[in-house]
Structure 1
Amino acid sequence: MSIMEDAALDLRLRTAAADWLTERAQHQRELATQAELAEFIFEGRRVALLDRQRGIRKPAFLDAALSFRTRYTPPGHLPPYEDREGPDGLLRYKYRGEDPEHPENVALRRAYEHGLPLIWFVGIAPALYLPRYPVWLIADEPQQLQFVVALDEAQRLIVPGDAVGTERRRYVERLTRLRLHQPVFRARVLQAYGTRCAICQLRHGSLLDAAHIIPDGQPAGDPVVPNGLALCKIHHAAFDQNILGIRPDHRVEVRPDIRKEVDGPMLRHGIQEMHGRQISLPRQRSAHPHRHRLEARYEKFRTAA
């Protein structure tokens, strides 16, 4: 097979994989299990998108890596990528081991050298992943045993390794939150709560949000499951606007003036009747809302009331 034929095959596979993942997401199947990712069919043959044993996936008939992954992090622990931002604000992905010439590192390096799009699979639960794509490797830092990752086209324009100004760094970090941190946080919180609103039990995933107990950017506002609540959009808005609060004993409290209002059935059934209700909690105790965070957020609610 010629170099041009190899390049055309590579492009077709990457395009087909991205289209397949996008189609899944459009049918509310954005998350994928390891088993599902092994069943992808490309031009009549099965091509696993994720390697069962390795963190970096390179099909035998490709010259460069197709995907890489970050393993699942237990509730309450920051995902590994949180500590891998450089002075430029861009994320880093560590080599496999300490040998820059390890075959997996070489496969990633070839993707970097050819500017190829990759899929980043982020662990949401054991053997369950959220795909982020396309992403690119835009620099190789062998002294630090890592590659520099761009999450979108705008980040590809940043010169890796340069110390950037405050505004530029904020811009890069905002893109990272939008493309990685927020989707991962949402996926992990909804997974922990069984894809249902903790207050009203609504199970339509497209109508659910991951609400921060302590807002993002504030001390203790980390994007971890114990700082999150799965809430439907109306209860998320009501929580953020201090129309309702959640006590440290996990009971809903509706603001007194709101309980006295007379409006329509949404206010009566959707808000007022939630007063005193016990919220549902994740099965895994380590995923429960952190008590001190709830106390701090409830005190803010009481002050607002």
Structure 2
Amino acid sequence: MPNGEPGGLRAAAIDWLEMRTDSGREPLTREDLSDFHFAKSETRLIAPMQGIWKPGNYSAALSFRTSYTAPGESPPYEDSTGIDGRFRYKWRGTDPNHPENVGLREALNNRLPLIWFRGVAQSPARYQVIAPVFIVDEEPEHQQFVFVAAEDAQAAFELSDSAHETVARRYLNRMAKARVHQPVFRSMVLSAYENRCTVCMLAHPSLLDAAHIVPDNDERGIASVVNGLAMCKIHHAAFDRYFLGIRPDHVVEIRHDLLEEVDGPMLKHGLQELHGNSLMTVPKSRRQRPERDLLEHKYEQFRNATMNDVA
């Protein structure tokens, strides 16, 4: 067992989180995390107060946490994404030999997978679980560690050390094509809309998406709750394909040619009858509501698409 760790705990924790979060789709509260048991006893997965968690009988950290920051607020720590696309996590304090910093350094030296709990809501606090991640470098001059999601770890490590190759490779394929930002964006948006479709109020999270107002491949398409709308899958598809538009004053419009079609009850009740209705739910916090200029941009595209189809 690497690092003198209890056999299997790290792997068991990551596997349990994979199952408990529906492959990273659902955020968890601290109460949810208390359901994890290992060797027939409750085992803590997240630090009680601080950001970095290292169980007492571990030399390497097991997890670290990033606090939720509401739109428009400054984060308590300067954790960030570098221009190289890799994430940075600040030391605990300024002492490189603080036990928590040593714990992260041990994970780096032993190429051990960690769990990243990224805050996506508060009251109660909810965390998006991103696991596994690997620390691949340390930048002492900036008092921070560099870490990546599993899909980038192989290139970063070159996994040539057979002693740790198996434990690292076990998780590499799981997130090979996953995007770190997407599950976080989804959780923040669905939480802001209280897990209801903004158009029809459907309240089954497994049938809901976080729709970008402006796509993330657009320079305006920021991965922020203010660029998101919680939508059921049918209304998300209609919104993306300009069957459904949302005016900057939150009024729904349906493409004119679609209003004239005669089809089954889904078209009638699911789309046509929405024309002229206001959005049925928006975030309670004004700072989380969709930005007007983003809605204007998207609505203008909807209008252009409508006119082109009519022509």
TM-score (norm 1): 0.86
Q: Map 1:6-155 onto structure 2 (within 5 A).
A: 7=4, 9=6, 11-26=7-22, 30-76=26-72, 84-126=80-122, 127-155=125-153
Where does structure 2 lack aligned partners over 5 or more consecutive residues? Answer: 159-174, 307-311
1:112 Cα deviation after fit: 0.9
- The residue type paired with residue 148 of structure 1 is V
Q: Is the 8 A contact 1:209 1:236 kept in 2?
A: yes
Q: Is the 8 A contact 1:28 1:205 kept in 2?
A: no
Shifted more, 83-92 versus 240-249: the winner is 83-92
Residue correspondences, number = 287
Shifted more, 88-97 versus 257-266: the winner is 88-97
Could you report, residue by residue, the CA deviation over 1:25-74 in whole angstroms, capped at 9, with x for unpaired residues?
A: 24998321123324532213222111121100001011110000111010
The percent identity for this pair of structures is 52
- The residue type paired with residue 147 of structure 1 is F
Could you report, residue by residue, the CA deviation over 1:197-237 in whole angstroms, capped at 9, with x for unpaired residues?
A: 10011112111111111111323311111110001111111
Cα distance in 1 between the residues matched to 2:79 and 2:219: 17
Cα distance in 2 between the residues matched to 1:238 and 1:78: 35
Cα distance in 1 between the residues matched to 2:56 and 2:70: 32
1:8 Cα deviation after fit: 5.6
Q: What residue is the counterpart of 1:247 in the other structure?
A: 247
Cα distance change, pair 80–209 in 1 and its aligned pair in 2 (3 A): farther
- Give me the CA root mean square deviation: 2.6
- The residue type paired with residue 189 of structure 2 is V
Cα distance change, pair 8–51 in 1 and its aligned pair in 2 (3 A): closer
Q: Is the 8 A contact 1:39 1:48 kept in 2?
A: no
Where does structure 1 lack aligned partners over 5 or more consecutive residues? Answer: 161-174
Cα distance in 1 between the residues matched to 2:149 and 2:2: 28
Shifted more, 44-53 versus 79-88: the winner is 79-88
Q: What residue is the counterpart of 1:235 in the other structure?
A: 235
Q: Is the 8 A contact 1:28 1:206 kept in 2?
A: no
Q: Map 1:219-230 onto structure 2 (within 5 A).
A: 219-230=219-230
- The residue type paired with residue 51 of structure 1 is A
Q: What residue is the counterpart of 1:158 in the other structure?
A: 156
Cα distance in 2 between the residues matched to 1:295 and 1:98: 46
Cα distance change, pair 86–156 in 1 and its aligned pair in 2 (3 A): farther
Q: Is the 8 A contact 1:69 1:120 kept in 2?
A: yes
1:177 Cα deviation after fit: 9.2
- The residue type paired with residue 133 of structure 2 is V
